[in-house]
Amino acid sequence: MNMHTVTIETAETNPTAARAEQLLEQLQDLHAAVSVSERGWVTIDVTLPAEHVRQAVMLAIAAVEQAGAHAVVAVTAMTEEEADQREGWETLPDLVSVTEAAAELGVSRQAVLDRIGRHTLPATKIGRDYAIPRSALAKR
């Protein structure tokens, strides 16, 4: 099951702070955000797990209606991964420490540091330590 982001515009305009707070409380389990769209509609963004986008839309609409929102005017839905990419967020690779890399490779910690120093194992220095992409270990 993947996480999905669904944006629902409702046939309500000019929400008070109390109204927005009410919607947020009702939808807190869905990590809701309430705003006003460019056309002036109350917009509710929720994030929820679903098998596919269609299921996410159905679940989100049901939750928003149950929370007392007005009729739905428009819906936009996508996987959370797609939403993050559209916002410019980069997906980080699975990273491991030098000690974890050594254990996975069956070598000493010093051997991993030597490979990093010789540039035969990619790594990024973070503070005093290194972060190594787990995918680089599979190639060794």
Structure confidence at residue 109 (pLDDT): 96
Structure confidence at residue 91 (pLDDT): 76
- Output the CATH code of domain 2-86: 3.30.70.100
Lowest average pLDDT, out of 20-34, 47-61, 77-91, 98-112, goes to 77-91
Structure confidence at residue 23 (pLDDT): 96
Q: Distances in Å between the alpha carbon of 26 and those of 36, 57, 69, 122? A: 18, 18, 10, 47
pLDDT in tens, 127-140: 999 999 999 998 66
Structure confidence at residue 117 (pLDDT): 95
Q: How far apart are the C-alpha atoms of 110 and 90, rounded to whole Å? A: 31
Q: Express as a percent the part of the chain with pLDDT over 90.
A: 91
Q: How far apart are the C-alpha atoms of 27 and 48, rounded to whole Å? A: 11
Structure confidence at residue 140 (pLDDT): 60
pLDDT in tens, 48-89: 999 999 999 999 999 999 999 999 999 999 999 999 999 988
Mean pLDDT along residues 93-115:
95
User: What DSSP letter does each residue of 8-40 carry, written as one string?
Assistant: EEEEEES--HHHHHHHHHHTGGGT-EEEE-TTS
Write down the domain spans for the chain: 2-86, 95-138
